[in-house]
Protein backbone atom coordinates (compact mmCIF):
# COMPACT_ATOMS: atom_id res chain seq x y z
CA UNK A 1 0.00 0.00 0.00
CA UNK A 2 1.44 3.37 -1.02
CA UNK A 3 1.77 6.41 1.23
CA UNK A 4 -1.09 8.04 -0.66
CA UNK A 5 -3.38 5.10 0.08
CA UNK A 6 -2.38 5.07 3.77
CA UNK A 7 -2.95 8.84 4.06
CA UNK A 8 -6.40 8.53 2.46
CA UNK A 9 -7.39 5.66 4.78
CA UNK A 10 -6.24 7.62 7.85
CA UNK A 11 -7.97 10.84 6.77
CA UNK A 12 -11.32 9.15 6.18
CA UNK A 13 -11.07 6.38 8.79
CA UNK A 14 -13.99 7.74 10.85
CA UNK A 15 -16.24 7.91 7.79
CA UNK A 16 -15.24 4.42 6.62
CA UNK A 17 -15.84 2.90 10.08
CA UNK A 18 -19.25 4.59 10.26
CA UNK A 19 -20.17 3.14 6.88
CA UNK A 20 -19.06 -0.32 8.00
CA UNK A 21 -21.20 -0.08 11.16
CA UNK A 22 -24.26 0.92 9.14
CA UNK A 23 -24.08 -2.01 6.70
CA UNK A 24 -27.13 -4.27 6.68
CA UNK A 25 -26.00 -7.13 4.47
CA UNK A 26 -23.22 -8.56 2.31
CA UNK A 27 -24.45 -6.62 -0.73
CA UNK A 28 -23.91 -3.37 1.13
CA UNK A 29 -20.39 -4.49 2.02
CA UNK A 30 -19.66 -5.19 -1.65
CA UNK A 31 -21.02 -1.76 -2.59
CA UNK A 32 -18.68 -0.13 -0.06
CA UNK A 33 -15.82 -2.25 -1.36
CA UNK A 34 -16.50 -0.90 -4.87
CA UNK A 35 -16.34 2.67 -3.53
CA UNK A 36 -13.04 2.09 -1.75
CA UNK A 37 -11.59 0.21 -4.71
CA UNK A 38 -12.42 3.22 -6.89
CA UNK A 39 -10.58 5.47 -4.45
CA UNK A 40 -7.60 3.11 -4.50
CA UNK A 41 -7.56 3.13 -8.30
CA UNK A 42 -7.76 6.93 -8.49
CA UNK A 43 -4.92 7.27 -5.99
CA UNK A 44 -2.57 5.28 -8.23
CA UNK A 45 -2.55 8.28 -10.58
CA UNK A 46 -0.21 10.85 -9.02
CA UNK A 47 -1.87 13.78 -10.79
CA UNK A 48 -5.12 13.13 -8.84
CA UNK A 49 -5.99 14.41 -5.37
CA UNK A 50 -9.02 12.53 -4.04
CA UNK A 51 -11.65 13.71 -1.54
CA UNK A 52 -14.35 11.38 -0.18
CA UNK A 53 -17.94 12.62 0.22
CA UNK A 54 -16.95 16.18 1.01
CA UNK A 55 -20.13 17.79 -0.37
CA UNK A 56 -22.81 16.11 1.72
CA UNK A 57 -24.07 19.49 2.90
CA UNK A 58 -25.66 20.10 -0.50
CA UNK A 59 -29.41 19.62 -0.79
CA UNK A 60 -29.07 17.27 -3.76
CA UNK A 61 -27.36 13.89 -3.78
CA UNK A 62 -23.69 14.34 -4.57
CA UNK A 63 -21.10 12.02 -6.13
CA UNK A 64 -18.89 9.86 -3.91
CA UNK A 65 -15.57 11.50 -4.82
CA UNK A 66 -14.31 14.93 -5.78
CA UNK A 67 -10.98 14.68 -7.59
CA UNK A 68 -8.56 17.47 -8.48
CA UNK A 69 -6.45 16.86 -11.56
CA UNK A 70 -3.08 18.65 -11.63
CA UNK A 71 -4.22 21.09 -8.91
CA UNK A 72 -6.61 22.99 -11.19
CA UNK A 73 -9.23 20.75 -12.87
CA UNK A 74 -11.93 19.32 -10.61
CA UNK A 75 -14.16 16.42 -11.49
CA UNK A 76 -16.59 14.21 -9.62
CA UNK A 77 -16.84 10.42 -9.53
CA UNK A 78 -19.99 8.52 -8.60
CA UNK A 79 -19.59 4.77 -8.06
CA UNK A 80 -22.13 2.09 -8.96
CA UNK A 81 -21.57 -1.64 -8.58
CA UNK A 82 -23.36 -3.62 -11.28
CA UNK A 83 -24.25 -6.76 -9.39
CA UNK A 84 -23.85 -10.14 -11.05
CA UNK A 85 -27.57 -10.80 -10.66
CA UNK A 86 -28.25 -7.70 -12.76
CA UNK A 87 -26.28 -9.21 -15.65
CA UNK A 88 -27.46 -12.82 -15.41
CA UNK A 89 -30.25 -12.49 -17.96
CA UNK A 90 -29.13 -13.91 -21.30
CA UNK A 91 -31.45 -11.50 -23.11
CA UNK A 92 -29.32 -8.54 -24.21
CA UNK A 93 -32.45 -6.40 -24.30
CA UNK A 94 -33.05 -7.02 -20.60
CA UNK A 95 -29.49 -5.95 -19.80
CA UNK A 96 -30.01 -2.73 -21.74
CA UNK A 97 -33.20 -2.01 -19.79
CA UNK A 98 -31.36 -2.54 -16.49
CA UNK A 99 -28.58 -0.19 -17.57
CA UNK A 100 -31.17 2.42 -18.55
CA UNK A 101 -32.57 2.18 -15.03
CA UNK A 102 -29.10 2.64 -13.52
CA UNK A 103 -28.46 5.71 -15.66
CA UNK A 104 -31.83 7.26 -14.80
CA UNK A 105 -31.03 6.80 -11.12
CA UNK A 106 -27.50 8.18 -11.29
CA UNK A 107 -27.73 11.22 -13.58
CA UNK A 108 -29.59 13.04 -10.82
CA UNK A 109 -26.41 12.96 -8.72
CA UNK A 110 -24.36 14.82 -11.32
CA UNK A 111 -24.02 18.48 -10.27
CA UNK A 112 -23.94 21.23 -12.90
CA UNK A 113 -20.75 23.09 -13.85
CA UNK A 114 -18.49 20.07 -13.27
CA UNK A 115 -16.95 17.21 -15.18
CA UNK A 116 -18.87 14.21 -13.80
CA UNK A 117 -17.93 10.54 -14.18
CA UNK A 118 -19.99 7.46 -13.37
CA UNK A 119 -17.64 4.60 -12.43
CA UNK A 120 -19.33 1.23 -12.93
CA UNK A 121 -17.85 -1.92 -11.40
CA UNK A 122 -19.25 -4.87 -13.34
CA UNK A 123 -19.21 -8.26 -11.61
CA UNK A 124 -20.28 -10.23 -14.68
CA UNK A 125 -19.91 -10.10 -18.44
CA UNK A 126 -20.57 -6.56 -19.58
CA UNK A 127 -20.59 -5.60 -23.23
CA UNK A 128 -19.82 -1.98 -24.06
CA UNK A 129 -22.41 -2.34 -26.83
CA UNK A 130 -25.11 -2.78 -24.15
CA UNK A 131 -24.13 0.51 -22.52
CA UNK A 132 -24.10 2.29 -25.89
CA UNK A 133 -27.56 0.86 -26.64
CA UNK A 134 -28.86 2.02 -23.25
CA UNK A 135 -27.58 5.58 -23.70
CA UNK A 136 -28.87 5.77 -27.27
CA UNK A 137 -32.32 4.48 -26.29
CA UNK A 138 -32.63 7.01 -23.46
CA UNK A 139 -31.58 9.81 -25.78
CA UNK A 140 -34.13 8.76 -28.41
CA UNK A 141 -36.93 8.52 -25.83
CA UNK A 142 -36.08 12.01 -24.57
CA UNK A 143 -35.90 13.49 -28.06
CA UNK A 144 -39.30 11.93 -28.88
CA UNK A 145 -40.68 13.57 -25.72
CA UNK A 146 -41.83 10.31 -24.13
CA UNK A 147 -42.99 12.18 -21.04
CA UNK A 148 -44.62 9.17 -19.36
CA UNK A 149 -41.39 7.17 -19.42
CA UNK A 150 -39.38 9.86 -17.65
CA UNK A 151 -42.09 10.99 -15.22
CA UNK A 152 -42.35 7.37 -14.04
CA UNK A 153 -38.62 7.57 -13.28
CA UNK A 154 -39.02 10.72 -11.16
CA UNK A 155 -38.02 13.32 -13.75
CA UNK A 156 -40.26 16.33 -14.31
CA UNK A 157 -40.22 15.72 -18.06
CA UNK A 158 -38.14 14.40 -20.95
CA UNK A 159 -36.48 17.82 -21.12
CA UNK A 160 -35.60 17.58 -17.43
CA UNK A 161 -33.93 14.21 -18.07
CA UNK A 162 -31.91 15.60 -20.97
CA UNK A 163 -30.77 18.53 -18.86
CA UNK A 164 -29.50 16.17 -16.15
CA UNK A 165 -28.10 13.68 -18.66
CA UNK A 166 -25.96 16.45 -20.17
CA UNK A 167 -24.29 16.79 -16.77
CA UNK A 168 -22.87 13.26 -17.13
CA UNK A 169 -19.49 13.64 -18.83
CA UNK A 170 -18.38 10.02 -19.08
CA UNK A 171 -18.79 6.47 -17.84
CA UNK A 172 -15.96 4.16 -16.81
CA UNK A 173 -16.69 0.43 -17.01
CA UNK A 174 -14.39 -1.37 -14.59
CA UNK A 175 -14.06 -5.12 -15.09
CA UNK A 176 -11.61 -7.68 -13.75
CA UNK A 177 -9.50 -7.73 -16.89
CA UNK A 178 -10.48 -4.52 -18.67
CA UNK A 179 -11.43 -0.88 -18.29
CA UNK A 180 -13.49 1.05 -20.83
CA UNK A 181 -14.14 4.80 -20.98
CA UNK A 182 -17.33 5.98 -22.70
CA UNK A 183 -17.60 9.72 -23.40
CA UNK A 184 -21.04 11.32 -23.46
CA UNK A 185 -21.38 13.22 -26.76
CA UNK A 186 -24.09 15.43 -25.20
CA UNK A 187 -22.06 16.41 -22.13
CA UNK A 188 -21.90 20.11 -21.28
CA UNK A 189 -18.53 19.62 -19.62
CA UNK A 190 -16.35 17.29 -21.66
CA UNK A 191 -13.53 15.15 -20.30
CA UNK A 192 -10.47 16.99 -21.59
CA UNK A 193 -7.87 14.92 -23.52
CA UNK A 194 -5.27 15.21 -20.75
CA UNK A 195 -7.77 13.77 -18.27
CA UNK A 196 -8.65 10.95 -20.68
CA UNK A 197 -4.94 10.11 -20.80
CA UNK A 198 -4.67 10.21 -17.00
CA UNK A 199 -7.61 7.83 -16.60
CA UNK A 200 -5.93 5.54 -19.12
CA UNK A 201 -2.81 5.46 -16.93
CA UNK A 202 -4.66 4.20 -13.85
CA UNK A 203 -3.23 0.85 -12.84
CA UNK A 204 -5.31 -2.29 -12.35
CA UNK A 205 -5.36 -3.50 -8.75
Under the banding of pLDDT at 50, 70 and 90, the label for residue 178 is confident
pLDDT at 95 over 90: no
Range from 10-14, 91-95, 151-155, 192-196 carrying the lowest mean pLDDT: 91-95
Under the banding of pLDDT at 50, 70 and 90, the label for residue 62 is confident
H-helix or E-strand containing 198? helix 193-201
What per-residue confidence (pLDDT) applies to 36? 96
Gap between the Cα atoms of 66 and 48, Å rounded: 10
Instruction: Please tell me the pTM assigned to this model.
Output: 0.92
Contact 155, 161 (CB under 8 A): yes
H-helix or E-strand containing 183? strand 178-183
Contact 180, 173 (CB under 8 A): yes
Domain ranges of the chain: 3-201
pLDDT 10s digits, 112-124: 999 999 999 988 7
Contact 75, 114 (CB under 8 A): yes
Gap between the Cα atoms of 29 and 24, Å rounded: 8
Gap between the Cα atoms of 60 and 65, Å rounded: 15
Amino acid sequence: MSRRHVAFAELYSTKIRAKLRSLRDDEGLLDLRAELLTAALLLTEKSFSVEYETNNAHSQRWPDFTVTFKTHTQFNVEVRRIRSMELEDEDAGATVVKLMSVLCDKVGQMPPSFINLLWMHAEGDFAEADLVAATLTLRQLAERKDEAFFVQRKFKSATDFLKQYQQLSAIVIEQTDARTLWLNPLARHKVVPALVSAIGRIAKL
